[in-house]
Amino acid sequence: MKLVFTKSDLVNAINISLKAVPSKTTMPILECILIEASPSEIKLTSNDMELGIETIVKGDVLERGKIAIDAKLFSEIIRKLPDSEITIETDDRLNVSISCEKAHFNISGKSGDEFSYLPTIERNDHISLSQFTLKEVIRQTIFSIAANENNKLMTGELFEVNENELKVVSLDGHRISIRKIQLNDNYGHKKVVVPGKTLMEISRILSGDKDKEVLIFFGNNHILFEFDDTLVVSRLIEGEYFKINQMLSSDYDTKVVLNKKELLDCIERSVLLIRESDKKPIIIRIGDEDMELAISSAIGSMKENIAAEKKGKDIVIGFNPRFLIDALRVIDDENVSLYMINSKAPCFIRDDEQNYIYLILPVNIDSTRV
């Protein structure tokens, strides 16, 4: 095999491939990136058996072939080379020669035949949306997946398609994030749970271009994302997702509308008084004309009033301030509406069309002194 690349093209393809290289594995071949060169294209493939990535890289094929190269070493060598033309050659003994200007590396490769290829998914059951939309949907929901694996379903996100609507849901036991997206076409019903890791890596790869589309193909056990010159295949999380509709309510005794930036800025100021290990709530008192936010910790205390338009009863309620910050940061509206029933029931932040819904459970403030 003999290939010639520009450094920028090769670095970009390696960076994409690295996202599916496992940090720890009992199978050394999975620590590699597979390079396959046919007369028409060069593909880089990585696979950790849960997530697999295949991306096409620009380059000249002087001799076809395939080789698996240790991903970490390969990446570090290519990054350190000059910004110039890079030549990669292999021989029958799986030796790999990497040359760029006056730099020459010789390393050992592995047989490409040992590499675990990506699972095949039939391409007849899919939806289409823009890269911008998918990247935004992930950004607006991924923060509320669970970090641990006590409940595997909480480490993923629900993707549910009904006709021309895609609904994406995440939850961690303390909050729920829901985004609804209108699709350009009608599709059959689909309902799968996609690992959060997969979505985070896809979000990092996506350009976010409004004019470029992503095709999402649904298999029985896997999901495939196709965009630009890249395929991302992921194993789905098995199990019946939570009955989200039973957790939602349109009832409220208090509705408050206020400027999002003003609210967010106030809460972000308040957390200056909280250490990472603290579980101090922010106390919200809603009256007729304003909202008072207060916090007290070992470091100090703070109170601030902001203008608010209230409908319904006065209320005093407490929240984990970081949960509010996470939700407010991903809302693009100038004003936000908060819906509450009492100090024990969930708070809903949602727009009138319910294109986004953020449910946040309050904390017990009965014994709190502010």
The answer as to whether 21 is a domain residue is yes
Over 90: is that where the pLDDT of 84 sits? Answer: yes
What pLDDT shows up at residue 368?
Answer: 43
One domain, residues 29 and 56: yes
Last residue of a domain, one of 245, 276, 303: 245
One domain, residues 34 and 95: yes
User: Residue 370 — pLDDT band, cuts 50, 70, 90?
Assistant: very low
> Which range is least confidently modeled, 188-202, 286-300, 330-344?
286-300
Mean pLDDT value of segment 331-354: 97
One domain, residues 256 and 310: yes
Number of domains in the chain: 3
What pLDDT shows up at residue 366?
Answer: 62
One domain, residues 228 and 141: yes
Over 90: is that where the pLDDT of 146 sits? Answer: yes
One domain, residues 168 and 232: yes
Mean pLDDT value of segment 105-113: 96
Mean residue pLDDT across the chain: 95
What pLDDT shows up at residue 234?
Answer: 97
The answer as to whether 333 is a domain residue is yes
State pLDDT tens for residues 6-46: 999 999 999 999 999 998 888 999 999 999 999 999 999 99
Over 60: is that where the pLDDT of 69 sits? Answer: yes
Give the domain range for residue 186.
126-245
Mean pLDDT value of segment 81-90: 98
The answer as to whether 365 is a domain residue is no
Over 80: is that where the pLDDT of 343 sits? Answer: yes
What pLDDT shows up at residue 311?
Answer: 96
Last residue of a domain, one of 218, 245, 272: 245
One domain, residues 94 and 135: no
The answer as to whether 203 is a domain residue is yes
What pLDDT shows up at residue 116?
Answer: 87
The answer as to whether 314 is a domain residue is yes
What pLDDT shows up at residue 302?
Answer: 95
One domain, residues 329 and 255: yes
State pLDDT tens for residues 269-293: 999 999 877 888 999 999 988 999 9
- The CATH number given to whatever domain includes residue 264 is 3.10.150.10
The answer as to whether 366 is a domain residue is no
One domain, residues 130 and 240: yes
Last residue of a domain, one of 245, 274, 306: 245
The answer as to whether 219 is a domain residue is yes
One domain, residues 290 and 351: yes
One domain, residues 6 and 109: yes
Over 70: is that where the pLDDT of 60 sits? Answer: yes
The answer as to whether 120 is a domain residue is no
One domain, residues 264 and 194: no
One domain, residues 135 and 166: yes
SS (H, E, C) the chain: CEEEEEHHHHHHHHHHHHCCCCCCCCCHHHHEEEEEECCCCEEEEEECCCEEEEEEECCEEEECEEEEEEHHHHHHHHHHCCCCEEEEEECCCCEEEEEECCEEEEEECECHHHCCCCCCCCCCCEEEEEHHHHHHHHHCCHHHCCCCCCCHHHHEEEEEEEEEEEEEEEECCCEEEEEEEEEEEEEEEEEEEEEHHHHHHHHHHCCCCCCCEEEEEECCCEEEEEECCEEEEEECCCCCCCCHHHHCCCCCCEEEEEEHHHHHHHHHHHHHHCCCCCCCCEEEEECCCEEEEEEECCCCEEEEEEECEEEECCEEEEECHHHHHHHHHCCCCCEEEEEECCCCCCEEEECCCCCEEEEECCECCCCCCC
What pLDDT shows up at residue 148?
Answer: 82
